[in-house]
């Protein structure tokens, strides 16, 4: 009987831990769904996904920004979009610790180089207990914003680690 209680407790704790860790993934995937509902992109559209950057310094990001970009990529591929893998391109500005950064003045040039139908870009703003995220789908021809979504991630120990912060509770 004690072994059964022990096993059930371990399973329950594991489920709680896993569901907490996957909250960021779920939230980022929901953001992509919201972006796609608001735009008229065809399923076969060619999309470039930029690294989500720090709003206070558009030339920097963090492990959080890069992780969000990776999770967005997953959901865009799941939606049958043709996502262009920028890490393999030599012509894009890639900073070793930052990832693929797209500045507004470079969007048209990059999009033409890869013949993209849309660019997904965004920012994050690091607050005390939360991280605020804004994502946009941009038409590379006109640089017009086709769709945008805002959402928030609560700062748990994983988010703090991805931002390079120390958890003050420990």
The phi and psi torsions of 125 (rounded to 5 degrees) equal -125, 120
What's the pLDDT tens digit per position in 57-70?
A: 887 788 999 999 99
Considering only residues 13 and 79, tell me which one the structure prediction assigns the higher pLDDT: 79
Distance from C-alpha of 131 to C-alpha of 54, rounded to nearest angstrom: 10
pLDDT at 94 over 50: no
Identify the weakest region by mean pLDDT among 10-14, 17-21, 59-63: 17-21
| Residue 14 in this model has a pLDDT that exceeds 90 | no
Per-residue model confidence (pLDDT) at position 60: 78
Band of pLDDT at residue 108, cut at 50, 70 and 90: low
Q: What is the pLDDT of residue 151?
A: 96
Question: How far is 69 from 57, CA to CA, in rounded Å?
Answer: 17
β-strands 53-54, 118-126 pairing: parallel
Residue 143 or 88, more confident: 143
pLDDT value, residue 161: 92
168's tokens: 């003050």
In order of start, what are the domains of the chain with their CATH numbers? 2-163 (3.40.50.10610)
DSSP the chain: -HHHHHHHHHHHHHHHHHHHHHHHHHHHHHHHHHHHHTS---TT-EEEEPPPEETTBTT---HHHHHHHHHHHHHHHHTT-EEE-GGG-SSS-EETTTEE---GGGHHHHHHHHT-SEEEEEEEEE-SSEEEEEEEEE-TTT--EEEEEEEEEE--HHHHHHHTPPPTT-
Average per-residue pLDDT in the chain? 80
Whether 107 shows a pLDDT value over 60: the answer reads: no
Which pTM does this prediction carry?
A: 0.76
- Are the beta carbons of 118 and 140 closer than 8 angstroms? yes
Query: Once rounded to an integer, what is the mean pLDDT over residues 10-36?
Result: 72
Q: Between vectors from CA 168 to CA 55 and to CA 95, what angle results, nearest 5°?
A: 35
* pLDDT tens digits along 148-167: 999 999 999 999 999 988 76
Give the span between the Cα atoms of 60 and 117, in whole angstroms: 25
Backbone angles phi, psi at 99, to 5 degrees: 105, -155
């Amino acid at each position: 009987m004690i072994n059964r209680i022990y096993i059930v407790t371990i399973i329950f704790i594991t489920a709680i831990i896993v569901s907490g860790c996957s909250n960021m993934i779920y939230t980022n995937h929901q953001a992509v769904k919201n972006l796609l509902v608001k735009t008229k992109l065809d399923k076969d559209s060619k999309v470039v996904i930029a690294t989500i950057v720090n709003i206070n310094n558009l030339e920097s990001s963090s492990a959080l920004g890069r992780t969000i970009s990776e999770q967005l990529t997953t959901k865009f591929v799941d939606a049958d979009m043709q996502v262009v893998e920028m890490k393999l391109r030599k012509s894009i500005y890639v900073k070793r610790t930052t990832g693929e950064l797209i500045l507004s003045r470079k969007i048209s040039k990059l999009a033409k180089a890869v013949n993209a139908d849309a660019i997904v870009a965004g920012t994050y703003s690091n607050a005390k207990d939360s991280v605020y995220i804004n994502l946009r789908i941009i038409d590379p021809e006109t640089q017009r914003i086709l769709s945008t979504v805002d959402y928030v991630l609560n700062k748990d120990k994983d988010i703090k680690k991805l931002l390079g912060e120390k958890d003050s509770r420990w």
